Amino acid sequence: MPKKPSTPTASAKPATPAKTTKPVKASKAGPAAKSGRPAKPAKTPKPASDKVNPDLDAMLANLSMAKKSSGDSTAPAQQQRCGLIAIIGRPNVGKSTLLNALVGQKVSITSRKAQTTRHRITGIRTDGDTQFVFVDTPGFQTRHTVRGTAALNRNLNKTVQATLSDVDVVLFLVEAGKFGPDDAKVVALLPKDKPVILVANKLDLVHRREDLFPWLQGMQEHHPFTQFIPLSAQKEDDTKRLMAVVKPYLPEQAWWYDAEALTDRTDRFLASEIIREKLFRLTGDELPYTSTVVIDLYNEEPPPPGKNKATGLVRIAATIIVEREQHKGMVIGDKGDRLKRIGTEARTELERLMGVKVFLEIWVKVRSGWADDEARLRTYGYE
């Protein structure tokens, strides 16, 4: 995850950053020297209620979990803020969907298959004087001993725990009105010395909003949450409200990235993730989650002299790694139809995101036991 504020590749940068040329490519600018964590602001905005039930406002106002904070409100209007915000929760609770909504563009893949996110994904949103650096984490794995996946699951959990050690704010994501054993195991990881905001996602699926009040009281018994934010991740007004609540907790310091940077991940990494997303979406539950994608070749061919960027070409060669021969057949499909569709959908989305033509070739190979092999995990890019 990006270190605060001493990323190894950092270099000095003027306070006002230049525009990046690629919408999804990481900025080469690094973090400026940290000026220290600011005092908490005079008043934290009260979470907005759902319009369907205005009485929820009154209930939230009386809830002890909606704590007030105090601090300095005299900072200059032009003072920049920048900080890390971790998004954590159990698998398949909507973390990647929320990250993409907060950033305003797809930077993390999504699917209905649990455990889709396997890497630390950073999404960057610069709004006014504040740069939000969101960190999407893999869903915390509760089954370490599942045959053939122990090493992979340990790796994913290490990523979650490492992320929490160096952030300014934590967003604990849970489905509104629900709390199960897997959620409880994630709560046990929440830091006690940092603000943790309870984000109740999928509010649109709650039919009786007044039922959230007793649920919220019960949630406060699990952890002393700083704030409660009910939302639907796909609603723009809700994500704006969440950013307004997060902002006062971020340190006053110079931005770490260019103003238009959206992620610190490379286009090469994005290509592997997009292919893996299409793989999961088009195979559904038929294919076990112990499959991955490796990029063998990524070559950018610039446009001819005098031509615009859209006339350039990116050549990508990728390999889908599966556990068994029968899984290989599932991916390829009848007469290669499924593999062809995976490639077509991945290429189409990559062209849209990158703004250039993409030539994509995909192979499928069997590597039995890769998900329980530490050496192979490192080879395949797992941190």
List the structure tokens of 334.
């009848």
Using DSSP, state whether 135 is helix, strand or coil.
strand
Choose the most confident range, by mean pLDDT, from 150-154, 200-204, 250-254, 353-357.
250-254
Cα torsion 335, 338, 339, 344: sign: positive
Asked if 272 and 342 count as a contact pair (C-beta separation under 8 A), the reply is no
Which residues have C-beta within 8 Å of that of residue 210, sequence separation ≥ 6? 53, 55, 56, 59
Q: Which CATH number fits domain 267-379: 1.10.10.1400, 3.10.520.10, 3.30.300.20, 3.30.70.260?
A: 3.30.300.20
> Cα–chain-centroid distance for residue 242?
15
Edge to edge, the sheet with strand 121-127 lists 121-127, 130-136, 81-88, 169-175, 196-201, 227-230
**Is there a common fold for 55-249 and 267-379?**
no
pLDDT, tens digit (0-9, with 9 covering 90-100), for 240-280: 999 999 999 999 999 999 998 998 888 998 999 899 889 98
Between CA 82 and CA 74 the distance in angstroms is 18
Q: Write the CB contacts of 299 (distance below 8 Å, at least 6 apart in sequence).
A: 314, 315, 316
**Spans of all domains in the chain:** 55-249, 267-379
| Pairing assessment for the beta strands 357-366 and 313-322 based on DSSP bridges | parallel
Length of the chain, in residues:
383
| Average pLDDT estimate for 291-303 | 91
Q: Which of 62-71, 100-109, 224-233, 362-371 has the lowest mean pLDDT?
A: 62-71
Q: Which residue has the higher pLDDT, 128 or 121?
A: 128
Q: Tell whether domain 55-249 is in CATH 3.40.50.300.
A: yes
Enter the tokens of residue 257.
């990235």
Taking the model in full, what pTM does it have? Answer: 0.68
Question: In degrees rounded to 5, what are phi and psi of residue 82?
Answer: -160, 140
- Write down the pLDDT at residue 304: 84
Q: What is the mean pLDDT of residues 98-112?
A: 81
Distance CA 232, CA 234 (A): 6
CA–CA separation, 126 and 256 (whole Å): 10
Per-residue pLDDT at 42 exceeds 60: no
Half-sphere exposure of 323 (CA within 13 A, CB side): 13
Which two structure tokens, joined as six digits, stand for 216?
Answer: 């919220």
Sequence-ordered list of residues with C-beta below 8 angstroms from that of 246, at least 6 positions apart, any chain: 85, 132, 169, 171, 197
Instruction: Give the DSSP H/E element, type plus range, for residue 39.
Output: none
- Whether residue 276 contacts residue 290, with contact meaning beta carbons closer than 8 Å, is answered with no
Is residue 116's pLDDT more than 70?
Answer: no
Show Cβ contacts of residue 195 under 8 Å, excluding neighbours closer than 6 positions. 168, 169, 170, 226, 227, 249
Residues 199/98, Cβ–Cβ less than 8 Å: yes
Q: What proportion of the chain, given as a percentage, has pLDDT over 70?
A: 65
In the chain the beta strands, taken as DSSP E runs, fall at 81-88, 121-127, 130-136, 169-175, 196-201, 227-230, 292-301, 313-322, 357-366
